[in-house]
C-alpha cells in the first residue's frame, strides 16, 4: 500500500522498512520495545525464507543475528509496536493484544509484498496482563517446523525466519529454556483486531482499519461500490479456502479463537496444533479443549462462527440503519456454508483424482471417509496409498468393504478424461507422503530442548520440505505413531 513514510535506505541485511500500521489510530497499538535478554544464540535460521525476503543473513555474524532477532539491538529506523486486539477464546470475549509479541517493522520483499516482521516471546508489553511476555524453546521450534511443513504443503501460513534462545529460563509447569521466534506474516490483523475496534465503538477507526486491511490484503476490491460487503465476502472466501486445505491434510489448529484468525487468510498461531493420524472427525489433541470445540471435524463450523463475529464488527460500515446493516450481514453470512462446502469438495475431489464433477462424488467420498473411520485407517497414508496406481494391500485393505469401495472409485475414474498415469501423478501432488507426525515432532523438540541436539529437527525439516516426493530413506517418517502414543496431547503452556 502507499505510505506516508518513505522506505528506509538499505541497511546491511537488506531491510526495506515501512511502518504503515503505525499510521492507523493510536488506540490500535502501543510503542513497545523488546526487553533485552541475557545471552541470545541463534537456534535455527530459515535461509530459504531470508532469500525470498531479500535479506542477506549470510552477510552477518551469528552474534549480530542473535542480538537482532532477540531484540537486544535494533536498527535505528525500526519503530517497534505491540498491537491491540480482542478475541473470543473458547467462545468467551476478552480484550487481549500482543502480550508477548512485538511488531518490529514491515518489510517490502523484492517481489513487492509487504510483510510484518514480528518477535514472539520478546518480553512484557502493555497488553501482557499476568503473563511474563516470554516463550519457551520447544513451542517456538514447534511453530517453526509446523509452519515450514505448511509452506511445503502449499497452505497459506505465517512463516518463521529464526528462533533464538535467550539464555534465560521461563517458568511454566517446568522450568524451560527461553526463546524468541521471528515470525513473518502478510500481516497480524485478526478478526480480533476488528472486534477490538468495534468494542471501542469508534466508527472512524473501524473504517480506517477496514480500509487499511482492504488495501493490504484485498486491493482488488478497494474501488468497488459496496467494498465493505465485498470485503466480508472476500474474507469468508479466503478462510473457506484455507480451512479446506487444513481439512484436506488433516491439520488440526487446536485453538481457533477469533484472535487466531488472520484477515489475510494465513494460518496463524501454532499452539496446540497437530496432524490427525487415524481418521476421526472428533480428533482433538489440545489438553485444554475438553469439550472438543476445536476438533478436526468442527473446524469449518468454528470458522463460520468466527466469521459471524467478524461480520458483526463491520455492521456500522454496511448501513447507518442497524436493521438494514444486520440484513446485509445475514444475507452474506447465509452464503458461507455453501462457500465452505464448495472449497472443501474441490479439495477432496483433487485428493480423489477427480477433475470433473458428478452429483454422487460426495457420497463416494463419504463412504471412503466412513470406511477409514470404521477401520481406524491412517488418514495421510490411505490417501497416499490410493495415489500409487495399484490397489493397495495390507491389513485394512484386505477387507471386502475396501475392495468394493476401490472398485466404485475406479469406475468413477473411468469417466475422467485424463489418462490414469496423469490422474495418479496429480493425486501424488496433493496427497502428501510426509506430514509432521506428532511423535516425530516431539522427538525432534525433545532432542533440541534437552540435549541441544538440533539434528533430528534438521532431518525432519528436510523431509517435510518435500512432502510429495517419496524417497526410500524417509520411509520411517511415514509411519503413524506406535499404539502407545496414540493418546497424544498438546499443551498450551507455550
Binding region for ligand AMP (CB under 6 A): 96-101, 128, 131-134, 255, 259-260, 269, 271
Would you say 299 or 387 has its CB closer to ligand AMP?
A: 299
Binding partner of 465, given ligand AMP, Mg ion, none, CB within 5-8 angstroms per partner class? none
Binding partner of 99, given Mg ion, ligand AMP, none, CB within 5-8 angstroms per partner class? ligand AMP
Binding partner of 382, given ligand AMP, Mg ion, none, CB within 5-8 angstroms per partner class? none
Binding partner of 97, given ligand AMP, Mg ion, none, CB within 5-8 angstroms per partner class? ligand AMP
User: At closest approach, how far in Å is the CB of 192 from Mg ion?
Assistant: 8
Q: Could you tell me if 146 and 162 are in contact, meaning their C-beta atoms sit under 8 angstroms apart?
A: no
SS3 label, residue 452: coil
Give the single-character DSSP code of 40. Answer: -
Would you say 165 or 257 has its CB closer to Mg ion?
A: 257
User: At closest approach, how far in Å is the CB of 260 from Mg ion?
Assistant: 5
User: At closest approach, how far in Å is the CB of 240 from Mg ion?
Assistant: 21
Treating both helix axes as pointing N-terminal to C-terminal, what angle do 336-352 and 299-318 enclose, rounded to 10 degrees?
A: 140
Q: E strands along 159-227, which residues? A: 159-171, 175-185
Binding partner of 272, given Mg ion, ligand AMP, none, CB within 5-8 angstroms per partner class? none
Which three three-digit cell numbers place residue 78?
A: 525500526
Report d(CA 464, CA 444) in Å as an integer. 13
User: At closest approach, how far in Å is the CB of 101 from ligand AMP?
Assistant: 6
Report d(CA 444, CA 419) in Å as an integer. 41
**Interface residues toward Mg ion, by CB under 5 A:** 260, 269
Residue nearest to Mg ion (CB): 269
- What are the Cα distances from residue 353, in Å, to 419, 427, 431, 481? 11, 5, 10, 27
User: At closest approach, how far in Å is the CB of 81 from Mg ion?
Assistant: 17
Report d(CA 424, CA 453) in Å as an integer. 39
Would you say 151 or 180 has its CB closer to ligand AMP?
A: 180
- HSE-up of 170 (CA within 13 Å, CB side)? 27
- Which residue is catalytic, options 98, 259, 269, 385? 259
User: At closest approach, how far in Å is the CB of 154 from Mg ion?
Assistant: 23
Would you say 271 or 480 has its CB closer to Mg ion?
A: 271
132 an active-site residue?
A: no
Report d(CA 191, CA 211) in Å as an integer. 14
Instruction: Give pairs for 481-487: CB < 8 Å, separation 24+.
Output: 481/277, 481/437, 481/438, 481/439, 482/439, 485/438, 485/439, 486/277, 486/278
Q: Could you tell me if 290 and 283 are in contact, meaning their C-beta atoms sit under 8 angstroms apart?
A: no
Report d(CA 91, CA 289) in Å as an integer. 12
Would you say 244 or 255 has its CB closer to ligand AMP?
A: 255
Which three three-digit cell numbers place residue 31?
A: 510503542
User: At closest approach, how far in Å is the CB of 345 from ligand AMP?
Assistant: 30
Would you say 83 or 205 has its CB closer to ligand AMP?
A: 83
SS3 label, residue 258: helix
User: At closest approach, how far in Å is the CB of 446 from ligand AMP?
Assistant: 21
SS3 label, residue 279: coil
Q: Could you tell me if 196 and 83 are in contact, meaning their C-beta atoms sit under 8 angstroms apart?
A: no
- What are the Cα distances from residue 10, in Å, to 13, 15, 18, 75, 165? 8, 6, 12, 11, 27
Binding partner of 169, given Mg ion, ligand AMP, none, CB within 5-8 angstroms per partner class? none
Report d(CA 360, CA 348) in Å as an integer. 13
Binding partner of 98, given ligand AMP, Mg ion, none, CB within 5-8 angstroms per partner class? ligand AMP
Beta bridge partner(s), residue 18: 106
Would you say 299 or 380 has its CB closer to ligand AMP?
A: 299
Binding partner of 128, given Mg ion, ligand AMP, none, CB within 5-8 angstroms per partner class? ligand AMP
Would you say 98 or 289 has its CB closer to ligand AMP?
A: 98
Report d(CA 158, CA 163) in Å as an integer. 14
Beta bridge partner(s), residue 179: 135, 165
Residues with catalytic function: 259
Amino acid at each position: 500500500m502507499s505510505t506516508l513514510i518513505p522506505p528506509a535506505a538499505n541497511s546491511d541485511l537488506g531491510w526495506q522498512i515501512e511502518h504503515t500500521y503505525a499510521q492507523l489510530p493510536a488506540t490500535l497499538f502501543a510503542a513497545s520495545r523488546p526487553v533485552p535478554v541475557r545471552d541470545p544464540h541463534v537456534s535455527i535460521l530459515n535461509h530459504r525464507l531470508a532469500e525470498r525476503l531479500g535479506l542477506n543473513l549470510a552477510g552477518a555474524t551469528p552474534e549480530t543475528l542473535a542480538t537482532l532477532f532477540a531484540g537486544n539491538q535494533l536498527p535505528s529506523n525500526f519503530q517497534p509496536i505491540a498491537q491491540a486486539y480482542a478475541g473470543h477464546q473458547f467462545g468467551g470475549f476478552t480484550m487481549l493484544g500482543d502480550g508477548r509479541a512485538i511488531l518490529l517493522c514491515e518489510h517490502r520483499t523484492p517481489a513487492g509484498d509487504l510483510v510484518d516482521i514480528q518477535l514472539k516471546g520478546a518480553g512484557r508489553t502493555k497488553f501482557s496482563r499476568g503473563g511474563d511476555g516470554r516463550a519457551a524453546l520447544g513451542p517456538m521450534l514447534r511453530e517453526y517446523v509446523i509452519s515450514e511443513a505448511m509452506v511445503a504443503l502449499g497452505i497459506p501460513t505465517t512463516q518463521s525466519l529464526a528462533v533464538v534462545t535467550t539464555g534465560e529460563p521461563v517458568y511454566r509447569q517446568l522450568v524451560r529454556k527461553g526463546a524468541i521466534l521471528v515470525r513473518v506474516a502478510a500481516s497480524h490483523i485478526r478478526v480480533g483486531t476488528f472486534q477490538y475496534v468495534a468494542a471501542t465503538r469508534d466508527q472512524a477507526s473501524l473504517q480506517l482499519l477496514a480500509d487499511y486491511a482492504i488495501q493490504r490484503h484485498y486491493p482488488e476490491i478497494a474501488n468497488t461500490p459496496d467494498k465493505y460487503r465485498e470485503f466480508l465476502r472476500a474474507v469468508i472466501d479466503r478462510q473457506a479456502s484455507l480451512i479446506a486445505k487444513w481439512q484436506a491434510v488433516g491439520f488440526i489448529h487446536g485453538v481457533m479463537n477469533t484472535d487466531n484468525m488472520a484477515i489475510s487468510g494465513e494460518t496463524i498461531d501454532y499452539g496446540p496444533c497437530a496432524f490427525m493420524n487415524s481418521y476421526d472427525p472428533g480428533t482433538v489433541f489440545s489438553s485444554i479443549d475438553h469439550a472438543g470445540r476445536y476438533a478436526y471435524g468442527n473446524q469449518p463450523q468454528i470458522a463460520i462462527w468466527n466469521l459471524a463475529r467478524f461480520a458483526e464488527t463491520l455492521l456500522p460500515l454496511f448501513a447507518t440503519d442497524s436493521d438494514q446493516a444486520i440484513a446485509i450481514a445475514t444475507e452474506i453470512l447465509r452464503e458461507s456454508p455453501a462457500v465452505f462446502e464448495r472449497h472443501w469438495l474441490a479439495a477432496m475431489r483433487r485428493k480423489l483424482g477427480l477433475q470433473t464433477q458428478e452429483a454422487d462424488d460426495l457420497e463416494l467420498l463419504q463412504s471412503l471417509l466412513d470406511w477409514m473411520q470404521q477401520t481406524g485407517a491412517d488418514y495421510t497414508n490411505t490417501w497416499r496409498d490410493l495415489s500409487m496406481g495399484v490397489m493397495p494391500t495390507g491389513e485394512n485393505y484386505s477387507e471386502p468393504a475396501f475392495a468394493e469401495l476401490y472398485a466404485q472409485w475406479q469406475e468413477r475414474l473411468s469417466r475422467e478424461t485424463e489418462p490414469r498415469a496423469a490422474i495418479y501423478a496429480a493425486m501424488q501432488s496433493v496427497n502428501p507422503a510426509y506430514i509432521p507426525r506428532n511423535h516425530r515432532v516431539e522427538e525432534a523438540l525433545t532432542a533440541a530442548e534437552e540435549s541441544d541436539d538440533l539434528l533430528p529437527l534438521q532431518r525432519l525439516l528436510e523431509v517435510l520440505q518435500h512432502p510429495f516426493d517419496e524417497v526410500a530413506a524417509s520411509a520411517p517418517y511415514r509411519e503413524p505413531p506406535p499404539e502407545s502414543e496414540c493418546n497424544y496431547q498438546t499443551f498450551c503452556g507455550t
